[in-house]
Amino acid sequence: MAEIIIDGELAKFSDLLKRVDKKSPSYEDIQALEEVMREAPELARLLGNLMAVVQSELIQKAVSPRSTQIAIAETLNQKRVEFAYDESPIWERLIIDNILNCWLRLQWVEHQLNNLIGKPNLRFVDIQHWENRLNASQRRFLRACETLARIRKMNLPPLQINIAQQQVNQVKQ
C-alpha cells in the first residue's frame, strides 16, 4: 500500500486519509492506512508529528496575520538549523522541540503582557497573573536549554570497534 505514495498516486492516499478520518471508518481502510504507515515510517513521522501540531496551533493563536504566522514558522525552522536538529540524536531532538515550544510560549506570554500594559481599568491582579505566567515560561525555557546543554556535554566520543583488524568508527546518529 505504501506504493501509492511512492508511485505518486497522492490522490489515492488522500482519499484513504479521508475515509479513515470519517466518523465510522471501515476496518479495511484502517488496516490499509496502518500498512502504509509501517511501510513508509517517514510518512507517519510527518503526519503524526504532534509537536508540529502544537507549534502550529500556538502560532495561530498568538498572531492572526497569516504573513506573521509564516514568518514565525520559518523562524522556528531556522532555530532548528541553529540547534543542528537534523544531525542530533532522537533524545536531543525531543529536547530541542521542547525548547522551541517553550520559546514560542514565552514569546506569546510576553506579547500578552505587553498588550495588557497601558489598557484602561487595568487591575493589579491581571498584571500579577501574567507576570506569574511569564516567570513560569522563563523557567521552563531555561530548564529546557540547560537540559540540552547537559545532554550535549555528556555526549560520549564516537564508538570505535575493531573487526578483523579493521577499525570501524561508529558515528552518532
What residue segments make up the domains of the chain, in order of their start? 3-47, 51-154
Q: For residue 18, how many C-alpha atoms fall within 13 Å in the half-sphere facing its CB?
A: 6
Q: Is residue 167 within 8 Å of residue 160, measured between CB atoms?
A: yes
Which distant-in-sequence residues (6+ apart) come within 8 Å of 39 by Cβ?
1, 2
Nearest to 168 by CA among 159, 18, 118: 159
Q: Decide: pTM greater than 0.85.
A: no
What is the residue-level pLDDT of the chain in tens, covering all 173 positions?
444 455 556 778 888 889 999 999 999 999 999 998 888 888 888 888 888 889 999 999 988 899 999 999 999 999 999 999 999 998 899 999 999 999 999 999 999 999 998 888 889 899 999 999 999 999 999 999 999 999 998 875 555 566 666 665 555 54
Helices marked H in the chain: 3-6, 10-21, 27-39, 41-47, 50-62, 66-82, 90-116, 124-154
